[in-house]
Chains A and B, each alone.
Chain A
Amino acid sequence: MNRTIVRLTAQGMLGGRRLWLLGALALLLVVIAVATRLLAPVSEADAAALLRAVAFSTFLPLFGLIVGTGAIAPEIDDGSIVHLLAKPVSRHTIVQSKLLVAVGAVVALAVVPTMLAAAVLGAGPRTVLAFGAGALAAGAVYSVLFLLLTIVTRHAVIIGLVYALIWESLVGSFVPGARNLSVQQWALSVTESIAPSGLVTADVGLGLAYGLIVGGFVAATWYAGSRLNALTLTSEE
Protein backbone atom coordinates (compact mmCIF):
# COMPACT_ATOMS: atom_id res chain seq x y z
CA MET A 1 0.00 0.00 0.00
CA ASN A 2 1.29 3.45 -0.83
CA ARG A 3 -0.29 6.56 0.67
CA THR A 4 0.66 8.79 -2.26
CA ILE A 5 -1.02 6.49 -4.79
CA VAL A 6 -4.10 6.18 -2.58
CA ARG A 7 -4.31 9.97 -2.41
CA LEU A 8 -3.81 10.47 -6.17
CA THR A 9 -6.35 7.75 -7.01
CA ALA A 10 -8.95 9.12 -4.63
CA GLN A 11 -8.52 12.62 -6.03
CA GLY A 12 -8.68 11.40 -9.61
CA MET A 13 -11.53 8.97 -9.16
CA LEU A 14 -13.78 10.86 -6.79
CA GLY A 15 -13.05 14.38 -7.94
CA GLY A 16 -15.48 15.68 -10.53
CA ARG A 17 -18.33 13.95 -12.28
CA ARG A 18 -17.72 10.36 -11.22
CA LEU A 19 -18.50 11.19 -7.59
CA TRP A 20 -21.81 12.78 -8.62
CA LEU A 21 -22.71 9.75 -10.68
CA LEU A 22 -21.92 7.37 -7.82
CA GLY A 23 -23.76 9.59 -5.34
CA ALA A 24 -26.79 9.71 -7.62
CA LEU A 25 -26.82 5.91 -7.92
CA ALA A 26 -26.63 5.54 -4.14
CA LEU A 27 -29.38 8.09 -3.67
CA LEU A 28 -31.57 6.36 -6.25
CA LEU A 29 -31.34 3.10 -4.32
CA VAL A 30 -32.45 4.78 -1.10
CA VAL A 31 -35.20 6.71 -2.91
CA ILE A 32 -36.58 3.47 -4.36
CA ALA A 33 -36.65 2.01 -0.85
CA VAL A 34 -38.42 5.08 0.59
CA ALA A 35 -40.97 5.20 -2.23
CA THR A 36 -41.74 1.48 -1.89
CA ARG A 37 -42.21 1.86 1.84
CA LEU A 38 -44.53 4.82 1.41
CA LEU A 39 -46.65 3.31 -1.34
CA ALA A 40 -47.26 -0.20 -0.06
CA PRO A 41 -46.93 -2.31 3.07
CA VAL A 42 -43.66 -4.26 2.90
CA SER A 43 -42.91 -7.54 4.65
CA GLU A 44 -39.33 -8.58 5.38
CA ALA A 45 -39.53 -11.13 2.55
CA ASP A 46 -40.66 -8.39 0.14
CA ALA A 47 -37.78 -6.24 1.31
CA ALA A 48 -35.33 -9.06 0.68
CA ALA A 49 -36.74 -9.72 -2.80
CA LEU A 50 -36.55 -6.04 -3.69
CA LEU A 51 -32.97 -5.66 -2.45
CA ARG A 52 -31.98 -8.76 -4.31
CA ALA A 53 -33.47 -7.50 -7.58
CA VAL A 54 -32.44 -3.86 -7.33
CA ALA A 55 -29.26 -3.78 -5.25
CA PHE A 56 -27.66 -7.13 -6.07
CA SER A 57 -28.72 -7.62 -9.69
CA THR A 58 -28.34 -4.09 -11.00
CA PHE A 59 -26.83 -1.60 -8.62
CA LEU A 60 -23.76 -3.46 -7.34
CA PRO A 61 -22.43 -4.72 -10.71
CA LEU A 62 -22.85 -1.25 -12.17
CA PHE A 63 -21.20 0.35 -9.15
CA GLY A 64 -18.30 -2.11 -9.24
CA LEU A 65 -17.88 -1.40 -12.94
CA ILE A 66 -17.68 2.35 -12.37
CA VAL A 67 -15.22 2.27 -9.47
CA GLY A 68 -13.18 -0.70 -10.72
CA THR A 69 -12.52 0.83 -14.11
CA GLY A 70 -12.48 4.39 -12.74
CA ALA A 71 -9.55 3.61 -10.44
CA ILE A 72 -7.15 3.18 -13.36
CA ALA A 73 -8.82 3.42 -16.80
CA PRO A 74 -8.54 7.21 -17.31
CA GLU A 75 -4.80 7.09 -16.58
CA ILE A 76 -4.22 4.22 -18.99
CA ASP A 77 -6.31 5.92 -21.68
CA ASP A 78 -4.58 9.28 -21.58
CA GLY A 79 -1.11 7.94 -20.75
CA SER A 80 -0.75 9.75 -17.42
CA ILE A 81 -0.13 6.34 -15.83
CA VAL A 82 3.56 6.91 -16.71
CA HIS A 83 3.74 9.11 -13.63
CA LEU A 84 3.18 6.01 -11.52
CA LEU A 85 5.00 3.53 -13.72
CA ALA A 86 8.22 5.55 -13.99
CA LYS A 87 8.78 5.18 -10.26
CA PRO A 88 10.59 2.53 -8.22
CA VAL A 89 7.29 1.23 -6.84
CA SER A 90 6.12 -2.37 -7.12
CA ARG A 91 3.25 -2.80 -9.56
CA HIS A 92 1.48 -4.89 -6.94
CA THR A 93 1.62 -1.92 -4.58
CA ILE A 94 0.05 0.28 -7.25
CA VAL A 95 -2.81 -2.18 -7.78
CA GLN A 96 -3.39 -2.72 -4.05
CA SER A 97 -3.48 1.03 -3.41
CA LYS A 98 -5.94 1.64 -6.21
CA LEU A 99 -8.08 -1.26 -5.05
CA LEU A 100 -8.19 0.16 -1.53
CA VAL A 101 -9.72 3.34 -2.90
CA ALA A 102 -12.22 1.41 -5.01
CA VAL A 103 -13.31 -0.77 -2.08
CA GLY A 104 -13.48 2.31 0.14
CA ALA A 105 -15.83 3.92 -2.36
CA VAL A 106 -17.89 0.71 -2.45
CA VAL A 107 -18.28 0.74 1.33
CA ALA A 108 -19.23 4.39 1.55
CA LEU A 109 -21.43 4.63 -1.53
CA ALA A 110 -22.79 1.11 -2.06
CA VAL A 111 -22.66 -0.94 1.15
CA VAL A 112 -23.96 1.83 3.41
CA PRO A 113 -26.82 2.83 1.03
CA THR A 114 -27.78 -0.85 0.64
CA MET A 115 -28.00 -1.21 4.42
CA LEU A 116 -29.86 2.06 4.63
CA ALA A 117 -32.35 0.87 2.00
CA ALA A 118 -32.81 -2.38 3.92
CA ALA A 119 -33.48 -0.47 7.13
CA VAL A 120 -35.91 1.89 5.39
CA LEU A 121 -37.79 -1.13 4.05
CA GLY A 122 -38.26 -2.25 7.61
CA ALA A 123 -35.81 -5.18 7.68
CA GLY A 124 -34.56 -6.30 11.06
CA PRO A 125 -30.97 -5.61 12.21
CA ARG A 126 -29.77 -9.10 11.21
CA THR A 127 -31.19 -8.77 7.72
CA VAL A 128 -29.65 -5.30 7.36
CA LEU A 129 -26.28 -6.71 8.38
CA ALA A 130 -26.71 -9.69 6.07
CA PHE A 131 -27.33 -7.49 3.05
CA GLY A 132 -24.45 -5.23 4.07
CA ALA A 133 -22.07 -8.19 4.17
CA GLY A 134 -23.33 -9.50 0.84
CA ALA A 135 -23.00 -6.05 -0.74
CA LEU A 136 -19.44 -5.73 0.54
CA ALA A 137 -18.50 -9.14 -0.87
CA ALA A 138 -20.07 -8.40 -4.26
CA GLY A 139 -18.73 -4.83 -4.43
CA ALA A 140 -15.17 -5.85 -3.54
CA VAL A 141 -15.08 -8.73 -6.03
CA TYR A 142 -16.63 -6.64 -8.82
CA SER A 143 -14.10 -3.86 -8.13
CA VAL A 144 -11.07 -6.11 -8.45
CA LEU A 145 -12.46 -7.97 -11.46
CA PHE A 146 -13.17 -4.78 -13.38
CA LEU A 147 -9.85 -3.26 -12.30
CA LEU A 148 -8.10 -6.34 -13.67
CA LEU A 149 -10.16 -6.22 -16.84
CA THR A 150 -9.15 -2.58 -17.39
CA ILE A 151 -5.47 -3.50 -17.22
CA VAL A 152 -5.92 -6.48 -19.52
CA THR A 153 -8.08 -4.93 -22.22
CA ARG A 154 -9.12 -1.57 -23.57
CA HIS A 155 -12.69 -2.80 -23.88
CA ALA A 156 -13.19 -3.34 -20.16
CA VAL A 157 -16.38 -1.31 -19.91
CA ILE A 158 -18.11 -3.18 -22.76
CA ILE A 159 -17.06 -6.58 -21.45
CA GLY A 160 -18.03 -5.53 -17.94
CA LEU A 161 -21.47 -4.43 -19.07
CA VAL A 162 -21.99 -7.65 -21.01
CA TYR A 163 -21.00 -9.64 -17.94
CA ALA A 164 -23.21 -7.64 -15.62
CA LEU A 165 -26.26 -7.55 -17.88
CA ILE A 166 -26.13 -10.80 -19.81
CA TRP A 167 -24.17 -13.28 -17.72
CA GLU A 168 -25.44 -12.33 -14.29
CA SER A 169 -29.11 -11.97 -15.18
CA LEU A 170 -29.80 -13.97 -18.34
CA VAL A 171 -27.40 -16.90 -18.50
CA GLY A 172 -27.71 -17.46 -14.78
CA SER A 173 -31.47 -17.78 -15.02
CA PHE A 174 -31.40 -20.33 -17.87
CA VAL A 175 -28.25 -22.28 -17.14
CA PRO A 176 -28.14 -23.29 -13.48
CA GLY A 177 -24.47 -24.34 -13.65
CA ALA A 178 -23.46 -20.82 -14.66
CA ARG A 179 -24.59 -19.60 -11.26
CA ASN A 180 -21.48 -21.11 -9.72
CA LEU A 181 -19.55 -18.47 -11.62
CA SER A 182 -21.81 -15.60 -10.69
CA VAL A 183 -20.47 -13.04 -8.24
CA GLN A 184 -24.06 -12.17 -7.40
CA GLN A 185 -24.74 -15.75 -6.28
CA TRP A 186 -21.59 -15.82 -4.15
CA ALA A 187 -22.68 -12.61 -2.45
CA LEU A 188 -26.23 -13.92 -1.92
CA SER A 189 -24.74 -16.98 -0.30
CA VAL A 190 -22.96 -14.71 2.19
CA THR A 191 -26.22 -12.86 2.83
CA GLU A 192 -28.09 -16.15 3.26
CA SER A 193 -25.63 -17.33 5.89
CA ILE A 194 -26.27 -14.27 8.08
CA ALA A 195 -29.95 -13.49 7.43
CA PRO A 196 -32.78 -15.19 9.33
CA SER A 197 -33.26 -18.61 7.72
CA GLY A 198 -35.53 -18.91 4.70
CA LEU A 199 -35.37 -15.20 3.85
CA VAL A 200 -32.77 -15.42 1.10
CA THR A 201 -31.79 -18.43 -0.97
CA ALA A 202 -28.60 -18.77 -2.95
CA ASP A 203 -27.60 -21.46 -5.43
CA VAL A 204 -23.96 -21.67 -4.36
CA GLY A 205 -22.95 -23.44 -1.16
CA LEU A 206 -21.57 -21.23 1.59
CA GLY A 207 -18.12 -22.85 1.74
CA LEU A 208 -17.67 -22.65 -2.00
CA ALA A 209 -18.93 -19.07 -2.05
CA TYR A 210 -16.52 -17.89 0.65
CA GLY A 211 -13.68 -19.74 -1.05
CA LEU A 212 -14.47 -18.18 -4.41
CA ILE A 213 -14.88 -14.68 -2.94
CA VAL A 214 -11.65 -14.67 -0.94
CA GLY A 215 -9.68 -16.75 -3.43
CA GLY A 216 -10.98 -14.79 -6.39
CA PHE A 217 -10.23 -11.47 -4.72
CA VAL A 218 -6.68 -12.41 -3.79
CA ALA A 219 -5.90 -14.09 -7.11
CA ALA A 220 -7.36 -11.25 -9.19
CA THR A 221 -5.43 -8.67 -7.13
CA TRP A 222 -2.19 -10.53 -7.65
CA TYR A 223 -2.81 -11.11 -11.33
CA ALA A 224 -3.73 -7.45 -11.89
CA GLY A 225 -0.35 -6.48 -10.40
CA SER A 226 1.59 -8.78 -12.65
CA ARG A 227 -0.36 -7.66 -15.71
CA LEU A 228 0.35 -4.04 -14.80
CA ASN A 229 4.03 -4.98 -14.62
CA ALA A 230 3.77 -6.08 -18.25
CA LEU A 231 1.68 -3.12 -19.42
CA THR A 232 3.25 -1.61 -22.52
CA LEU A 233 3.07 2.07 -23.28
CA THR A 234 3.40 3.33 -26.79
CA SER A 235 3.09 6.78 -28.22
CA GLU A 236 0.97 7.80 -31.16
CA GLU A 237 3.98 7.72 -33.48
Chain B
Amino acid sequence: MATLTIDTCSRWFGNVVAVNDVTMSIGPGITGLLGPNGAGKSTLINMLAGFLPPSAGAVTLDGAATWKNPEVYRALGIVTEREATYDFLTGRQLVVASAELHGLPDAGAAAQRALETVAMQQAQDRKIGEYSKGMKQRVKMASALVHDPQVLLLDEPFNGMDPRQRLHLIELLRRMGAEGRTVLFSSHILEEVEQLAHQIEVVVAGRYAASGDYREIRRLMTDRPHQYTIASSDDRALASALVADASTAGVSLEDGVLRVQAREFLRFAELLPRVARDADVRLFEVSPADESLESVFSYLVEN
Protein backbone atom coordinates (compact mmCIF):
# COMPACT_ATOMS: atom_id res chain seq x y z
CA MET B 1 0.00 0.00 0.00
CA ALA B 2 1.55 3.25 -1.11
CA THR B 3 0.26 6.80 -0.89
CA LEU B 4 1.39 9.81 -2.88
CA THR B 5 0.85 13.13 -1.16
CA ILE B 6 0.87 16.61 -2.61
CA ASP B 7 0.80 19.09 0.24
CA THR B 8 -0.03 22.78 -0.42
CA CYS B 9 2.11 22.58 -3.48
CA SER B 10 2.82 25.32 -6.00
CA ARG B 11 5.13 25.44 -8.97
CA TRP B 12 5.95 28.45 -11.04
CA PHE B 13 8.19 28.97 -14.04
CA GLY B 14 9.35 32.58 -14.00
CA ASN B 15 6.15 34.57 -13.93
CA VAL B 16 3.93 31.70 -14.99
CA VAL B 17 2.18 29.76 -12.26
CA ALA B 18 1.72 26.20 -13.49
CA VAL B 19 0.43 24.68 -10.25
CA ASN B 20 -1.24 26.81 -7.63
CA ASP B 21 -1.59 25.65 -4.03
CA VAL B 22 -2.72 22.09 -4.74
CA THR B 23 -3.26 19.53 -2.02
CA MET B 24 -4.22 15.96 -2.79
CA SER B 25 -3.59 12.47 -1.60
CA ILE B 26 -3.50 9.53 -3.99
CA GLY B 27 -3.95 6.10 -2.48
CA PRO B 28 -4.22 2.53 -3.81
CA GLY B 29 -6.51 1.96 -6.79
CA ILE B 30 -6.84 3.95 -9.98
CA THR B 31 -6.97 7.73 -9.82
CA GLY B 32 -7.57 9.88 -12.87
CA LEU B 33 -6.09 13.36 -13.10
CA LEU B 34 -8.51 15.28 -15.30
CA GLY B 35 -8.09 18.75 -16.74
CA PRO B 36 -7.90 20.65 -20.01
CA ASN B 37 -4.60 20.99 -21.86
CA GLY B 38 -2.26 23.34 -20.05
CA ALA B 39 -3.96 22.84 -16.69
CA GLY B 40 -0.75 21.75 -15.00
CA LYS B 41 -1.32 17.99 -15.11
CA SER B 42 2.11 17.23 -16.52
CA THR B 43 3.75 19.58 -14.04
CA LEU B 44 2.00 17.76 -11.20
CA ILE B 45 3.07 14.38 -12.57
CA ASN B 46 6.65 15.59 -13.06
CA MET B 47 6.72 16.71 -9.44
CA LEU B 48 5.26 13.40 -8.24
CA ALA B 49 7.86 11.60 -10.35
CA GLY B 50 10.69 13.55 -8.71
CA PHE B 51 11.67 15.27 -11.97
CA LEU B 52 10.82 18.73 -10.75
CA PRO B 53 10.97 20.33 -7.30
CA PRO B 54 7.86 22.16 -6.10
CA SER B 55 8.43 25.92 -5.74
CA ALA B 56 6.48 25.71 -2.48
CA GLY B 57 4.97 22.81 -0.54
CA ALA B 58 5.98 19.16 -0.50
CA VAL B 59 5.52 16.10 -2.68
CA THR B 60 6.06 12.78 -0.93
CA LEU B 61 5.64 9.05 -1.45
CA ASP B 62 4.84 7.38 1.87
CA GLY B 63 6.47 10.28 3.66
CA ALA B 64 9.69 10.37 1.60
CA ALA B 65 10.31 13.33 -0.70
CA THR B 66 10.40 12.35 -4.37
CA TRP B 67 12.76 15.19 -5.42
CA LYS B 68 16.49 14.38 -5.29
CA ASN B 69 15.76 10.96 -3.92
CA PRO B 70 16.52 8.22 -6.48
CA GLU B 71 15.62 5.53 -3.95
CA VAL B 72 11.90 6.28 -4.49
CA TYR B 73 12.17 4.70 -7.93
CA ARG B 74 12.31 1.26 -6.32
CA ALA B 75 8.59 1.68 -5.67
CA LEU B 76 7.76 3.99 -8.55
CA GLY B 77 7.17 3.31 -12.24
CA ILE B 78 6.78 6.24 -14.62
CA VAL B 79 5.52 6.50 -18.18
CA THR B 80 6.07 10.01 -19.49
CA GLU B 81 4.28 11.61 -22.39
CA ARG B 82 7.42 12.42 -24.33
CA GLU B 83 8.03 9.78 -26.90
CA ALA B 84 11.82 9.74 -27.06
CA THR B 85 13.58 6.54 -26.04
CA TYR B 86 16.81 4.96 -27.07
CA ASP B 87 15.86 4.36 -30.69
CA PHE B 88 19.05 2.40 -31.35
CA LEU B 89 18.02 -0.37 -28.92
CA THR B 90 15.55 -3.15 -29.52
CA GLY B 91 12.48 -3.23 -27.31
CA ARG B 92 13.90 -6.12 -25.37
CA GLN B 93 17.30 -4.44 -24.87
CA LEU B 94 15.59 -1.38 -23.42
CA VAL B 95 13.55 -3.39 -20.93
CA VAL B 96 16.54 -5.54 -19.95
CA ALA B 97 18.59 -2.36 -19.39
CA SER B 98 15.82 -1.04 -17.14
CA ALA B 99 15.81 -4.28 -15.16
CA GLU B 100 19.60 -4.10 -14.76
CA LEU B 101 19.46 -0.48 -13.63
CA HIS B 102 16.95 -1.52 -10.98
CA GLY B 103 19.46 -4.13 -9.86
CA LEU B 104 17.04 -7.03 -10.36
CA PRO B 105 18.65 -10.44 -9.81
CA ASP B 106 17.38 -11.96 -13.06
CA ALA B 107 17.05 -9.06 -15.49
CA GLY B 108 16.28 -11.24 -18.50
CA ALA B 109 13.36 -13.02 -16.84
CA ALA B 110 11.94 -9.79 -15.43
CA ALA B 111 12.13 -8.17 -18.87
CA GLN B 112 10.39 -11.17 -20.41
CA ARG B 113 7.54 -10.92 -17.89
CA ALA B 114 7.13 -7.18 -18.47
CA LEU B 115 7.10 -7.60 -22.24
CA GLU B 116 4.46 -10.30 -21.93
CA THR B 117 2.35 -8.03 -19.73
CA VAL B 118 2.16 -5.43 -22.50
CA ALA B 119 1.94 -8.07 -25.26
CA MET B 120 5.14 -6.97 -26.98
CA GLN B 121 6.94 -10.32 -27.30
CA GLN B 122 6.34 -10.39 -31.06
CA ALA B 123 8.16 -7.14 -31.76
CA GLN B 124 10.72 -7.28 -28.95
CA ASP B 125 13.70 -7.86 -31.23
CA ARG B 126 12.99 -4.95 -33.55
CA LYS B 127 14.63 -1.55 -33.08
CA ILE B 128 12.54 0.96 -31.14
CA GLY B 129 13.14 3.52 -33.90
CA GLU B 130 11.00 1.34 -36.18
CA TYR B 131 8.08 1.11 -33.74
CA SER B 132 4.74 2.84 -34.15
CA LYS B 133 3.71 5.37 -31.52
CA GLY B 134 1.50 2.83 -29.74
CA MET B 135 4.27 0.23 -29.68
CA LYS B 136 6.72 2.76 -28.25
CA GLN B 137 4.19 3.56 -25.55
CA ARG B 138 3.87 -0.14 -24.71
CA VAL B 139 7.58 -0.82 -24.55
CA LYS B 140 8.00 2.24 -22.30
CA MET B 141 5.22 0.77 -20.18
CA ALA B 142 7.10 -2.55 -19.98
CA SER B 143 10.22 -0.66 -18.98
CA ALA B 144 8.27 1.14 -16.22
CA LEU B 145 6.73 -2.12 -14.96
CA VAL B 146 9.83 -4.29 -15.02
CA HIS B 147 10.54 -3.91 -11.28
CA ASP B 148 6.93 -4.58 -10.33
CA PRO B 149 6.37 -1.13 -8.76
CA GLN B 150 3.77 -0.35 -6.10
CA VAL B 151 3.05 3.00 -7.73
CA LEU B 152 2.56 3.73 -11.42
CA LEU B 153 2.40 7.25 -12.88
CA LEU B 154 1.24 7.76 -16.46
CA ASP B 155 1.10 11.07 -18.30
CA GLU B 156 -1.63 11.05 -20.99
CA PRO B 157 -1.15 7.33 -21.62
CA PHE B 158 -4.02 7.02 -24.10
CA ASN B 159 -2.72 9.68 -26.49
CA GLY B 160 -2.13 8.22 -29.93
CA MET B 161 -3.47 4.76 -29.10
CA ASP B 162 -5.85 2.90 -31.35
CA PRO B 163 -9.03 1.44 -29.79
CA ARG B 164 -7.54 -2.03 -29.39
CA GLN B 165 -4.42 -0.75 -27.61
CA ARG B 166 -6.64 1.45 -25.49
CA LEU B 167 -8.71 -1.50 -24.34
CA HIS B 168 -5.59 -3.48 -23.59
CA LEU B 169 -4.14 -0.67 -21.47
CA ILE B 170 -7.45 -0.18 -19.64
CA GLU B 171 -7.49 -3.87 -18.79
CA LEU B 172 -3.87 -3.77 -17.62
CA LEU B 173 -4.40 -0.73 -15.40
CA ARG B 174 -7.58 -2.23 -13.93
CA ARG B 175 -5.64 -5.34 -13.02
CA MET B 176 -2.95 -3.27 -11.34
CA GLY B 177 -5.54 -1.26 -9.45
CA ALA B 178 -7.28 -4.44 -8.30
CA GLU B 179 -3.96 -5.73 -6.98
CA GLY B 180 -3.87 -2.78 -4.61
CA ARG B 181 -1.30 -0.74 -6.47
CA THR B 182 -1.49 3.02 -6.67
CA VAL B 183 -2.11 4.04 -10.27
CA LEU B 184 -2.36 7.68 -11.34
CA PHE B 185 -2.95 8.70 -14.93
CA SER B 186 -3.71 12.06 -16.52
CA SER B 187 -6.12 12.82 -19.30
CA HIS B 188 -8.09 15.70 -20.75
CA ILE B 189 -10.99 13.47 -21.79
CA LEU B 190 -13.74 12.92 -19.25
CA GLU B 191 -15.03 9.71 -20.82
CA GLU B 192 -11.58 8.16 -20.63
CA VAL B 193 -11.18 8.94 -16.95
CA GLU B 194 -14.76 7.99 -16.14
CA GLN B 195 -14.31 4.56 -17.67
CA LEU B 196 -11.29 3.65 -15.62
CA ALA B 197 -10.76 5.69 -12.47
CA HIS B 198 -12.51 5.06 -9.21
CA GLN B 199 -11.33 8.44 -8.01
CA ILE B 200 -11.09 11.57 -10.14
CA GLU B 201 -9.11 14.69 -9.33
CA VAL B 202 -9.88 17.69 -11.50
CA VAL B 203 -7.37 20.48 -12.02
CA VAL B 204 -8.00 23.63 -14.03
CA ALA B 205 -5.55 26.45 -14.68
CA GLY B 206 -3.12 25.01 -12.15
CA ARG B 207 -5.66 24.87 -9.37
CA TYR B 208 -7.50 22.02 -7.72
CA ALA B 209 -11.08 22.18 -8.97
CA ALA B 210 -12.97 19.10 -7.79
CA SER B 211 -12.58 15.51 -6.75
CA GLY B 212 -14.79 12.49 -6.25
CA ASP B 213 -15.91 9.37 -8.02
CA TYR B 214 -17.14 9.62 -11.60
CA ARG B 215 -20.79 10.04 -10.59
CA GLU B 216 -20.01 13.14 -8.58
CA ILE B 217 -17.87 14.61 -11.32
CA ARG B 218 -20.48 13.83 -13.96
CA ARG B 219 -23.16 15.47 -11.85
CA LEU B 220 -21.00 18.54 -11.30
CA MET B 221 -20.47 18.80 -14.99
CA THR B 222 -24.07 18.41 -16.11
CA ASP B 223 -25.78 20.31 -13.25
CA ARG B 224 -24.44 23.65 -14.24
CA PRO B 225 -25.86 26.63 -16.09
CA HIS B 226 -26.05 25.84 -19.78
CA GLN B 227 -26.41 28.31 -22.56
CA TYR B 228 -28.44 27.53 -25.67
CA THR B 229 -29.16 29.28 -28.88
CA ILE B 230 -32.61 28.55 -30.18
CA ALA B 231 -34.27 29.01 -33.53
CA SER B 232 -38.07 28.73 -33.60
CA SER B 233 -41.17 29.87 -35.49
CA ASP B 234 -41.76 32.71 -32.98
CA ASP B 235 -38.65 33.56 -30.93
CA ARG B 236 -40.31 36.49 -29.12
CA ALA B 237 -43.26 34.43 -27.86
CA LEU B 238 -40.97 31.60 -26.80
CA ALA B 239 -38.69 34.01 -24.96
CA SER B 240 -41.50 35.47 -22.92
CA ALA B 241 -42.86 32.02 -22.11
CA LEU B 242 -39.43 30.73 -21.01
CA VAL B 243 -38.57 33.68 -18.82
CA ALA B 244 -41.62 32.94 -16.67
CA ASP B 245 -40.07 29.68 -15.41
CA ALA B 246 -37.64 29.59 -12.50
CA SER B 247 -35.16 27.27 -14.24
CA THR B 248 -34.42 29.97 -16.79
CA ALA B 249 -31.69 32.27 -15.58
CA GLY B 250 -31.72 34.68 -18.49
CA VAL B 251 -33.10 35.25 -21.96
CA SER B 252 -31.78 37.53 -24.64
CA LEU B 253 -33.01 38.29 -28.13
CA GLU B 254 -30.41 40.08 -30.14
CA ASP B 255 -30.04 40.38 -33.89
CA GLY B 256 -32.79 37.82 -34.27
CA VAL B 257 -30.93 35.19 -32.25
CA LEU B 258 -32.57 33.82 -29.13
CA ARG B 259 -30.14 32.91 -26.35
CA VAL B 260 -31.28 31.20 -23.18
CA GLN B 261 -29.32 30.68 -20.01
CA ALA B 262 -30.65 27.63 -18.17
CA ARG B 263 -30.00 27.17 -14.47
CA GLU B 264 -30.23 23.41 -14.46
CA PHE B 265 -29.65 21.08 -17.32
CA LEU B 266 -32.26 18.37 -16.64
CA ARG B 267 -35.06 20.66 -15.65
CA PHE B 268 -34.54 22.88 -18.67
CA ALA B 269 -34.42 19.89 -20.99
CA GLU B 270 -37.86 18.99 -19.81
CA LEU B 271 -39.19 22.55 -19.68
CA LEU B 272 -38.33 23.74 -23.17
CA PRO B 273 -40.51 21.36 -25.25
CA ARG B 274 -43.45 21.79 -22.87
CA VAL B 275 -43.30 25.58 -22.98
CA ALA B 276 -42.94 25.57 -26.76
CA ARG B 277 -45.97 23.33 -27.15
CA ASP B 278 -48.10 25.41 -24.80
CA ALA B 279 -47.14 28.62 -26.60
CA ASP B 280 -47.76 26.96 -29.96
CA VAL B 281 -44.20 27.66 -31.13
CA ARG B 282 -42.29 25.26 -33.35
CA LEU B 283 -38.65 24.62 -32.43
CA PHE B 284 -36.29 24.47 -35.40
CA GLU B 285 -32.97 24.25 -33.65
CA VAL B 286 -31.66 24.04 -30.10
CA SER B 287 -27.92 24.05 -29.73
CA PRO B 288 -25.71 24.30 -26.67
CA ALA B 289 -23.45 27.33 -26.95
CA ASP B 290 -20.69 26.50 -24.50
CA GLU B 291 -20.11 22.78 -24.46
CA SER B 292 -16.36 23.02 -24.79
CA LEU B 293 -14.50 21.24 -22.06
CA GLU B 294 -12.83 24.49 -21.09
CA SER B 295 -16.14 26.13 -20.25
CA VAL B 296 -17.16 23.09 -18.21
CA PHE B 297 -13.88 23.28 -16.32
CA SER B 298 -14.04 27.01 -15.77
CA TYR B 299 -17.49 26.56 -14.28
CA LEU B 300 -16.02 24.04 -11.85
CA VAL B 301 -13.29 26.46 -10.85
CA GLU B 302 -15.71 29.30 -10.21
CA ASN B 303 -17.55 27.07 -7.74
Give the interface of A toward B (CB within 8 A).
Answer: 2-5, 7-8, 11-12, 15-16, 78-80, 82-91, 229-230, 232-237
Contacts and interface: CB of A to CB of B under 8 A. Distances in A.
Contacts of A78: 82, 84
A90 B53 CA distance: 18
Given A234-B46, A237-B37, A86 B76 contact: yes
B102 interface: yes
Nearest to A84: B101
Given A4-B101, A11-B86, A82-B82, 6 more contacts: A8-B89, A79-B80, A86-B78, A91-B70, A229-B68, A235-B46
Contacts of A86: 49, 73, 76-78, 144
Contact of B73 (A7, A16, A88, A236): A88
Nearest to B13: A234
B85 A83 contact: yes
Contact of A88 (B13, B18, B52, B71): B71
Given A82-B80, A87-B98, A237-B43, A12 B51 contact: no
Contacts of B38: 237
B41 interface: yes
Contact of B51 (A8, A16, A232): A232
B81 interface: yes
A15 B88 CA distance: 8
B74 interface: yes
Which 4 residue pairs spanning A and B have beta carbons closest together?
Answer: A78-B84, A233-B51, A87-B101, A79-B82
Contacts of B43: 234, 237
Contact of A80 (B37, B46, B85): B85
Contacts of B77: 86
Interface residues of B, number: 40
B46 A88 contact: no
29 contacts: A3-B100, A5-B101, A8-B86, A12-B86, A78-B84, A79-B80, A80-B84, A80-B85, A82-B51, A83-B97, A83-B98, A83-B143, A85-B70, A86-B49, A86-B77, A87-B70, A87-B73, A87-B101, A88-B71, A88-B73, A232-B53, A233-B52, A234-B13, A234-B42, A234-B43, A234-B46, A235-B80, A237-B37, A237-B38
B63 interface: no
A88 B84 contact: no
B85 A88 contact: no
Contacts of A235: 42, 46, 80-82, 155
A234 B78 contact: no
Nearest to B37: A237
Most buried by B among A7, A8, A84, A91: A8
B242 interface: no
A15 B155 CA distance: 30
Contacts of B288: none
A92 to B, nearest CB: 10
Given A84-B101, A235-B82, A11 B89 contact: yes
Contacts of B53: 230, 232
Nearest to A81: B84
Contact of A16 (B37, B78, B88, B98): B88
Contacts of B85: 80, 83
Contacts of B42: 234-235, 237
Contacts of A15: 88
B40 to A, nearest CB: 8
A232 B52 contact: yes
A183 B243 CA distance: 83
Contacts of A79: 80, 82, 84
A82 B51 CA distance: 8
Contacts of A3: 100
Nearest to B53: A232
Contacts of B37: 237
Contacts of A87: 70, 73, 98, 101-102
Contacts of B100: 3-4
Contacts of B78: 82, 86
A11 B51 contact: no
B118 interface: no
A7 B98 CA distance: 12
Contact of A8 (B73, B97, B155): B97
B95 to A, nearest CB: 10
B26 interface: no
B62 to A, nearest CB: 15
Contacts of B72: 88
A50 to B, nearest CB: 38
Contacts of B80: 79, 82, 233, 235
A141 B103 CA distance: 31
B94 interface: yes
